[in-house]
Amino acid sequence: MKYTTSLLALLALAAPVQAEDITIGFAIAKSGWMEAYDTPAATAAKIRIDEINAAGGLLGQQIKVVEADTRTDRAESAKAGLDVLDQGAQMMVVSCDYDFGAPAALVAEGEGMNSFFLCAEDVKAGIQGVGPNSFSSSVLAPVQGATMAEWAHAKRNARTAYVLEDTFIEYNKGICTGFDWMFPTLEGASIVGSDTFKNDDASIASQITRIKALGAEPDVIMLCSVMPGAAAAVRQIRAAGINSLILNGSAVDGSYWLDATPGLSGFVLPVQGSIHGDDPRPEVETFNAAYEAKTGARPASQYAYPGYVLIDLWAKAVERAGSVDGAAVTAELEKMQDEPTAFGPRSFSAELHHQNTALMQIVEITDGKPARVDEWRISQPVPMDVLLGK
**E strands in the chain:** 22-28, 63-69, 91-94, 114-117, 134-136, 160-166, 190-197, 220-224, 245-247, 267-271, 360-366, 369-376
In DSSP terms, which residues pair with 163 in a beta bridge? 194, 222
CA 287 to chain centre: 16
Nearest in space to 336 (alpha carbons), one of 349, 326, 323, 324: 349
SS3 of 166, please? strand
Helix (H) or strand (E) run with residue 53 in it: helix 35-54
Residue 268: beta bridge partners?
247, 364
- Look at residue 19 in the predicted model and tell me its pLDDT: 56
**Are the beta carbons of 239 and 263 closer than 8 angstroms?**
no
The structure's pTM equals: 0.92
> Pairing mode, if any, of strands 360-366 and 369-376?
antiparallel
For domain 141-271+359-387, the question of CATH label 3.40.50.2300 is answered with: yes
Q: Which residues in 260-290 are b (16+ Cβ under 10 Å) and which e?
A: ebeebebbbbbbbbbbbeebebeebbebbeb
**To 10 degrees, the CA torsion angle through 63, 67, 72, 75?**
-110
Please tell me what DSSP assigns to residue 343. T
Residues 314, 321: contact at Cβ < 8 Å? no
Angle between helices 229-239 and 205-212 (to 10 degrees): 40
pLDDT score, position 33: 86
Q: Give the pLDDT score at 181.
A: 98
User: What number of other Cβ atoms are within 10 A of residue 295's Cβ?
Assistant: 16
121: Cα separation from own chain's centroid: 6
Number of H-type helices and E-type strands within the chain: 12, 12
Q: Which CATH class for the 22-139+283-333 domain?
A: alpha beta
Position 11 scores a pLDDT of 40
Q: Which residues of the chain have pLDDT under 50?
A: 1-18
Q: Taking the domains of the chain in order of start, what are their residue ranges? A: 22-139+283-333, 141-271+359-387
Query: Contact, 192 vs 222, CB < 8 A?
Result: no
Q: Which of 79, 132, 126, 129 is nearest to 107 (CA)?
A: 79
Please tell me the predicted confidence (pLDDT) of residue 169: 85
User: What are the distances in angstroms from CA 369 to CA 48, 78, 258, 360?
Assistant: 30, 41, 8, 19
